[in-house]
Structure 1
């Protein structure tokens, strides 16, 4: 993260990211250790060392970090050797699919075994984490000059929406690692041939899907996440729900999901997938959608912008150069309800005090 009045943090992140772009598409083993630093990483160590903290104060500690199989976490794994050299803390990564990581982490946190020092956390889970005191409040870490230098790591540099997603009652419990926004992704060539533009409304989105839907030639009109659960279809559906004017709670904080806007939102979602999505979409998450789009069998989808890394991967995609991007369509309520989301890193409250602080150094560095 960049510090106020300086671009040193952004340069660090950019340098580390660029050093591994060539290898980002190569899947790492399910359990890996930090790689040895490349020349670019070695250069970054001098910049990292400018923080006014003793990076070596927890030398000899080892931590395990759970992440999902994704390009941005592959990048982190590839450069983690630089952190090990800088701090003397050994880092072990475990890659767990999105559908399983939540359950595995809940078991670790609730049993207080402390297997994972930190993990790729879904923001939807922070209320549960905090209620049970499974993760550490991070304000004390941010304000401790022995382990934090606000002139080097400026927490307020992070977009407020992503910060608040990892906070409860204004107190931070996780540090965002990546940030995502949802976008409409479509096949430019297919749309141009059909004489249509990317949808400006959800009604038009369905009409576009119907016009290009051609399953006989292995082209389906649209796809959205269908797999049930937090971080699955509940990543995308709340935006549809709100775009139709749905409200989760009434003024008395009573759950209300059977109002007319709520019912119409659900009908729109179910009908789109039933009529224009590929068979089996009810079991699809974002990797399945991105893979299908990359193979040329889906004409349009709405999902995280980070999926662009898959559909533009020359090793996987057949549609490079044929991809267009557009904003979320408006709903009947007249709103574009684009979701923002992030994977973040909390500190496991079951760790020893020394390991907690070693984990905090890693989180700042990452």
Structure 2
């Protein structure tokens, strides 16, 4: 891996910023840490609950460095995603969680955690100059990250950790053969997809998730371009509005006229596999699925992949966004020490490590826009450009509700039915009426 980090950490080096990081010039990241009283909670012990993932691996890899910096003893555990969510809910509900730091999936858990008031207010810590690096300011986070992290009253209840923007992966060779440019609008995207499609050569212009549940974010990402969310800020369902219907028609057209056979059974893995073969013009999905495309052992499109920001819809340009965060339980008895861990986890230095390793995309603009950090990223520059371009137009792709899984299930069935020719308006109306009582019950709890 180019730009791998070679560094034997000591507190002196961490504070002084004098050590080299694989020749990448990241020393500028660290000096401001000297302003923080990292030893304030020395002698404390904290438990950290992490989702098993490359992000969790990265945090654990450098855990000793945090301990040396702060004098805080860390005991961390990585748990597979579904089990981790269950464990977190059970322990937080008990009022006596075993952990002081919790890794949460915003697009699934945000509303649940807020309603239950499980997370501590981090605003006071962030305003304390003895505990917070001056570079850690709200304006450094992508808008979607702040939306995720703040509750309905604008209070920071967690720190945005890693983001997944939805982009368009496109095959530059296929586009060049047809004399096509990367689409700037939804209309141009449809035109390009249909122009690239040639069943005789097994070439198709577009692919995205067609499998029920998995397909819902594709439709909601389109819906953002029509200037609408799926659920309004007042909790009103917007899933059968004219905008929602038009977004569904777009989904139906692309997936029936420009996608490969069997797409109704595709999740991200099948989409990725199809794109890797070099016969797909465009693939809409999360930016985190990119590394295999540049792996010559897995891909036939190495060096041929373009990474494009989501084209503009009829009303706005928006990148559907998912993400995770890291927070401190209100019930924790070690909030200060836990906050220092959270701040360290989303620091510019750790963000650089995530990005360079391909383990995650930080929410912090200062990481994405730092030339020294970008030099160490093993992915093409266009990939980082797509990240940086998506951040200013990032919008939450799924509604902030407790029954988000049921939402995806019910709307996903409607979308799958459309791939068999069902009427989008009728399907969305049926699904909306089916989901309405589910949402009402969750809000009444």
Q: 1:235 Cα deviation (Å)?
A: 4.2
Alignment of 1:119-138 (within 5 A): 119-123=103-107, 125-138=109-122
What's the CA shift string for 1:98-134, capped at 9, x where partnerless? x775555444444556255311431563232111112
Q: 1:62 Cα deviation (Å)?
A: 4.1
Counterpart in the other structure of 2:132: 149
Q: Does 1:266 align with 2:257?
A: no
SS, match of residue 207 in structure 2? coil
Q: Does 1:114 align with 2:87?
A: no
What's the CA shift string for 1:154-193, capped at 9, x where partnerless? 4443344422331012111111123443322201012212
Question: Which residue of 35, 39, 43 corresponds with 2:7?
Answer: 39
Structure 1 residues 202 and 51, CA, compared in 2 at 3 Å: closer, same or farther? same
Counterpart in the other structure of 1:89: 73
Q: Does 1:50 align with 2:18?
A: no
Q: 1:297 Cα deviation (Å)?
A: 5.1
Q: 1:305 Cα deviation (Å)?
A: 3.2
Q: 1:295 Cα deviation (Å)?
A: 4.4
**Is this contact kept in 1: 2:224–2:320, CA < 8 A?**
no
RMSD of aligned residue pairs (Cα, Å): 3.5
Q: Does 1:79 align with 2:49?
A: no
Structure 1 residues 152 and 195, CA, compared in 2 at 3 Å: closer, same or farther? closer
Between 1:42-51 and 1:234-243, the stretch displaced more is 42-51
Q: Distance in 1 between matches of 2:242 and 2:136?
A: 47
Q: Does 1:237 align with 2:205?
A: no
Runs of at least 5 residues in structure 2 that lack an aligned partner in the other structure? 18-29, 346-445
- TM-score normalised by length of structure 1: 0.73
SS, match of residue 34 in structure 2? coil
What's the CA shift string for 1:177-231, capped at 9, x where partnerless? 23443322201012212332222332332333333345676654322244555xx
Q: Distance in 2 between matches of 1:328 and 1:62?
A: 41
Q: Does 1:346 align with 2:327?
A: yes
Q: Distance in 2 between matches of 1:251 and 1:155?
A: 22
**Is this contact kept in 1: 2:211–2:263, CA < 8 A?**
no
Q: Distance in 2 between matches of 1:113 and 1:186?
A: 49
Counterpart in the other structure of 1:32: none
Question: Which residue of 44, 48, 52 corresponds with 1:64?
Answer: 48
Which structure's residues are more often helix, by fraction?
Answer: 2
Q: Distance in 2 between matches of 1:363 and 1:252?
A: 31
Runs of at least 5 residues in structure 1 that lack an aligned partner in the other structure? 1-16, 21-37
Alignment of 1:247-266 (within 5 A): 248=230, 254-266=236-248
**Is this contact kept in 2: 1:183–1:302, CA < 8 A?**
yes
**Is this contact kept in 1: 2:14–2:69, CA < 8 A?**
no
**Is this contact kept in 2: 1:45–1:82, CA < 8 A?**
no
Q: Distance in 1 between matches of 2:211 and 2:83?
A: 13
Structure 1 residues 152 and 330, CA, compared in 2 at 3 Å: closer, same or farther? closer
Counterpart in the other structure of 1:200: 184
SS, match of residue 141 in structure 1? helix
Q: Distance in 2 between matches of 1:335 and 1:233?
A: 21
Q: Does 1:309 align with 2:277?
A: no
**Is this contact kept in 2: 1:51–1:152, CA < 8 A?**
no
**Is this contact kept in 1: 2:36–2:133, CA < 8 A?**
no
Counterpart in the other structure of 1:139: 123
SS, match of residue 264 in structure 1? helix
- TM-score normalised by length of structure 2: 0.61
Q: 1:137 Cα deviation (Å)?
A: 1.8
What's the CA shift string for 1:218-261, capped at 9, x where partnerless? 654322244555xx545443231132354546797632322222
SS, match of residue 222 in structure 1? strand
**Is this contact kept in 2: 1:245–1:262, CA < 8 A?**
no
